[in-house]
Copies of this chain bind each other. A is one copy, B any other.
């Protein structure tokens, strides 16, 4: 399958700013006031103890933060860090002006044109992961594209991690839902990298998403996951799901205040656990449809909120995470334009980590095989867009233009022939043939073509080599842990 080669992405554009600097400060000040006056409900006693020890006022479950403490702790978060991959060529830099694309994580359902929409299982999860490995534009796997609902929930993460290590040679996300899942990701990563927890802490391998329970709540499993990962020197992306009109006020300003307060609270906790812990400022502010209460994604508000969040993240010197989202139920024009709205907003807003960048459908309830491929095409296009235009004597082509002359044609010219192979972006999904040829070939639309593409990628998949001793150690670890967890 023809595709763009793996490459680390750098974004040289000055990020778009939808807020004036004084407006960024207003949101900052309001968040700080919220944290000191209203406070945050922290359900984990261990997390409350860490915060109390640092001088936070703790009143039952509510923790109130001193603005100076927050400022001091947030300043410790690094602006950029590396995430090692099993294949060193696929090690990522998160932050600065780097951009990394992550595949969809978390849905319960999966979908493709042949089999329709159905619950996820381990077999299909394996297929999906193989396609993710095949697509070079995907820099990181997102912690399980969908749930394997045929496996016991207590140990499902172990099977997933084993698959992630075996099937992929690229970076993958761990699951921060509780101490056990986080610790297993760390321990299995250590085995995969032939090291121990100390070696792993020296340079992080795992990144995991920590979601707050908006408004202003951090639940027990997420607090535990955060502390376990950060304690082991691994990276955490803190992402409140501030849905304006539901869990957040029905204004972007209000939703951003809430998001910012929750990110700052969790950042403070993380830095208290381990000063200098690698974190990402996550934004997931969108809005509901006020008529139905349905969540909407890839909307104008979503895009503006993402870009405003990028400004806030940079205000704190933290890497910024956004996402590729759509509420569409089908892989149709709506899915594409809502995704494009999300992706352009993210990239032009200076996102360093674009989560759910490929495969997300139906407001995140479904991982689609065809959407995975179509998103990969859009990501490839954005990656190519980010490459600077070459301007030199050769590319300015004054001699070639003079040679062809007024009224001539460049198709067979020496200047063109020398660039035949590499001149322009070559697509995977897009069909540029004329109507007649396209009609002859059966009038396949982009989604139908994407169906053929993921099947071909799956057929062409080759497992990246893994030391058999490492594989054996992993299998043993999983067996041992399953016994412990299932009793």
Taking Cβ atoms with an 8 Å cutoff, the residues of A that contact B are 13-14, 16-19, 23, 26-27, 30, 33-34, 37-41, 61-62, 117, 213, 215-217, 244-254, 257-258, 287-296, 299-301, 303-304, 308, 327-341, 344-345, 348, 362-363, 365-366, 374, 377-378, 381-382, 384-385, 387-392, 394-398, 400-402, 404-411, 413, 415-416, 419-421, 423-427, 429-435, 438-439, 443, 445-447, 450
Chain B residues with Cβ below 8 Å from A308 are: 389
Task: List 26 A–B pairs whose Cβ atoms lie within 8 Å, in order of A's numbering.
Answer: A18-B388, A26-B396, A33-B398, A37-B402, A39-B406, A40-B406, A41-B406, A215-B404, A216-B405, A245-B423, A251-B423, A253-B397, A257-B401, A288-B411, A289-B424, A290-B419, A294-B432, A295-B432, A299-B424, A327-B430, A329-B439, A333-B374, A334-B430, A336-B336, A337-B381, A341-B385
Whether the pair A398, B446 counts as a contact (CB closer than 8 A) is no
**Bound-complex Cα distance A131 to B426 (A):** 36
Whether the pair B420, A290 counts as a contact (CB closer than 8 A) is yes
- Please give the distance in Å from A332's CB to the nearest CB on chain B: 4
**Bound-complex Cα distance A386 to B28 (A):** 23
**Bound-complex Cα distance A406 to B40 (A):** 6
Chain B residues with Cβ below 8 Å from A294 are: 432-434
Chain B residues with Cβ below 8 Å from A415 are: 249-251, 254
Chain B residues with Cβ below 8 Å from A254 are: 395-397, 400-401, 415
Whether the pair B397, A257 counts as a contact (CB closer than 8 A) is yes
Known pairs A244-B424, A250-B424, A329-B434; list 19 more (Cβ under 8 Å). A33-B398, A37-B402, A38-B402, A41-B407, A61-B406, A245-B411, A246-B410, A249-B397, A287-B423, A288-B424, A294-B433, A296-B432, A308-B389, A329-B435, A332-B445, A338-B430, A340-B344, A345-B385, A363-B434
- Please give the distance in Å from A24's CB to the nearest CB on chain B: 9
Closest residue on chain B to residue A332 by CB atoms:
B445
- Please give the distance in Å from A115's CB to the nearest CB on chain B: 15
Whether the pair A407, B333 counts as a contact (CB closer than 8 A) is no
- Please give the distance in Å from A107's CB to the nearest CB on chain B: 12
Whether the pair A250, B215 counts as a contact (CB closer than 8 A) is no
Chain B residues with Cβ below 8 Å from A365 are: 435
Question: Given A398-B34, A415-B250: A289 and B328 within 8 A (CB)?
Answer: no
Most chain-B CB neighbours within 10 Å: which of A244, A332, A377? A332
**Bound-complex Cα distance A335 to B216 (A):** 41
Chain B residues with Cβ below 8 Å from A435 are: 117, 329, 362, 365-366
**Bound-complex Cα distance A160 to B395 (A):** 43
Q: B33, B245, B335, B400: which contacts A333 (Cβ < 8 A)?
A: B335
Closest residue on chain B to residue A411 by CB atoms:
B246
Closest residue on chain B to residue A449 by CB atoms:
B334
Whether the pair A215, B408 counts as a contact (CB closer than 8 A) is yes
Whether the pair A299, B381 counts as a contact (CB closer than 8 A) is yes
Q: B19, B296, B300, B385: which contacts A304 (Cβ < 8 A)?
A: B385
- Please give the distance in Å from A177's CB to the nearest CB on chain B: 19
Question: Given A30-B396, A330-B445: A38 and B250 within 8 A (CB)?
Answer: no
Whether the pair B26, A329 counts as a contact (CB closer than 8 A) is no
Question: Given A341-B381, A416-B245: A392 and B432 within 8 A (CB)?
Answer: no
**Bound-complex Cα distance A308 to B390 (A):** 12
Chain B residues with Cβ below 8 Å from A33 are: 398
Whether the pair B337, A377 counts as a contact (CB closer than 8 A) is yes
Chain B residues with Cβ below 8 Å from A406 are: 38-41, 61-62, 215-217
Whether the pair A341, B338 counts as a contact (CB closer than 8 A) is no
- Please give the distance in Å from A362's CB to the nearest CB on chain B: 6
Whether the pair A249, B410 counts as a contact (CB closer than 8 A) is yes
Most chain-B CB neighbours within 10 Å: which of A40, A382, A431? A431
Chain B residues with Cβ below 8 Å from A253 are: 389-392, 395-397
Whether the pair A443, B407 counts as a contact (CB closer than 8 A) is no
**Bound-complex Cα distance A92 to B330 (A):** 38
Whether the pair A447, B333 counts as a contact (CB closer than 8 A) is yes
**Bound-complex Cα distance A363 to B435 (A):** 10
Closest residue on chain B to residue A381 by CB atoms:
B300
**Bound-complex Cα distance A460 to B445 (A):** 31
Most chain-B CB neighbours within 10 Å: which of A39, A213, A253, A394? A253
- Please give the distance in Å from A213's CB to the nearest CB on chain B: 7
